[in-house]
Structure 1
Amino acid sequence: MLAILKKEIRSFLNSLIAYIIMIIFLTGMGLFIWVFPDTNVLDSGFADLSTLFYLAPYVYMFLIPAVTMRTFAEEKKAGTMELLLTRPLTDWEIILGKYLASFLLILFTLIPTLVYYFSIYNLGNPAGNVDSAGVFGSYIGLALLGAVFTAIGIFASSISDNQITSFIIAAFLCFILYAGFSSLTSINAWGEAAYIINQLGIDYHYNALSRGLIDSRNVVYFLSMISLMLMATKLVLSSRKW
């Protein structure tokens, strides 16, 4: 697994993908937080990072599939997938190596945004007048969200040998699983079942973590989603033996 992890990280760093992803994410978030009217902190009068944590999931819906679309699709198109599978590696080692490499890249995009937190912390009146528990709860939620989207992207890449197709499938699944269930409950036809349906969506658990209370139920939900997507990827890889 470590060999795959190192190979994937080197591949990211030797291409423009990693740098473009980080530049787009940080530039976009920076503009929304500090520059654009109606969303920037300086005009709102509130020392918080709600703009970052509200918009980041929607940005991740496109950025993370862009990172993961090449993981398996490129191997299939280049004809190196068969060579990879013949090495003394289990399917799980290959999947986890590629998954962790992609997830680490996503985490690296989050680290520089801590500058935003320290800036707002000092801009508060008085300094430090910011909901730190809510901010760090949101960071944990965003990291877990990134982990789920990465697992979805890995799965989408495993079912296609075309990177664009993998990107579209991953972006679609990320949107449906994040906002689809809450949108579905807006239809007044579910009655008491609406609350249960809403809990199936990622946004319900992400928003719960954003309040600063780390509930084990929300963490278990994210871990379950990651496991489900990775097991689906394993099933796809195992289908070659059928």
Structure 2
Amino acid sequence: MLTILKKEFNAFLNSPVAYVVIGVFLVATGLFVWVFPDSSVLDYGYADLQSLFNLAPWIFLLLIPAITMRSFAEEKKAGTLELLLTRPLTDGALVGGKYLACLLLALLALVPTLLYYYSVYQLGTPRGNIDSAATVGSYLGLGLLAAVFAALGVLASALTRDQIIAFVLAAVACFLVYAGFDSLASVLSGALAYYVSQLGIAAHYRDLSKGLIDSRDVLYFLTVVAVALLGTRLALRSRTW
């Protein structure tokens, strides 16, 4: 697994993909957090990074499928997947290595945003007047959200040999899991609406963003990741059916 992880991550770093993804993410979030008057921290009057954590999932919804779309689709199109599978490497190690490389790149895009936290911390009146617990929960939520999106993206890539189709499938799947259940719950009422909303990511992400790190929310994200990766492994095994 580590060999595949290293190979895939180096491939990202040796191509424009990593720099485009990180650049687009930082420019988009930077504009919303610091420049645009409707969401700027400087105009908002409160020392928090809510605009970042509200926007980041929507950016990830497009950027992470762009990262994952090549993981298996490119191998299939180039005919190198069968070569990989002839090596002493299990399907689980292959899936895990490619998945972790994609996830690591997505998480790498979050690292520079820690400067936003430091800046808001320093600008607060009094200094440090920021809800650090909520910020930590929000970063944890974003990391878990990226983990789910990356897993769905890798699954989509394993289902096709066309990168564009893989991108579209992944983006649609991420949108449905993130916002689809919330949209459906909005037209329902009572307990049914609550249970439907709990099937989607948004409700669990909102809970973490409040600084309430509940093991049930973490377990939800990990379960979705596990199911998606299991589906990817089954998709690879289907080649022998």
TM bin (shorter chain): over 0.9
For 1:56 and 1:192, the matched residues in 2 are separated by 29
For 1:76 and 1:32, the matched residues in 2 are separated by 39
For 2:57 and 2:234, the matched residues in 1 are separated by 27
1:213 Cα deviation from its structure 2 partner = 1.4
Percent same amino acid at aligned positions? 59
Alignment of 1:1-242 (within 5 A): 1-188=1-188, 191-242=190-241
5+ long unaligned stretches in structure 2? none
What residue identity is the alignment partner of 1:83?
L
1:163 Cα deviation from its structure 2 partner = 0.4
For 1:192 and 1:115, the matched residues in 2 are separated by 41
1:191 Cα deviation from its structure 2 partner = 4.0
For 2:107 and 2:181, the matched residues in 1 are separated by 26
1:99-156 Cα deviation digits (max 9, x unpaired) = 0111110111011000000000011000000000000110000000000000000000
For 1:187 and 1:29, the matched residues in 2 are separated by 31
5+ long unaligned stretches in structure 1? none
SS of corresponding position for 2:93: helix
Any runs of at least 4 consecutive aligned residues in structure 1 with deviations exceeding 3 A, and if so which?
none
1:37 Cα deviation from its structure 2 partner = 1.5
1:192 Cα deviation from its structure 2 partner = 2.4
What residue identity is the alignment partner of 1:151?
A
SS of corresponding position for 2:88: coil
Instruction: Provide TM-score, normalisation by structure 1.
Output: 0.98
1:96 Cα deviation from its structure 2 partner = 0.2
Instruction: Provide TM-score, normalisation by structure 2.
Output: 0.99
What residue identity is the alignment partner of 1:208?
D
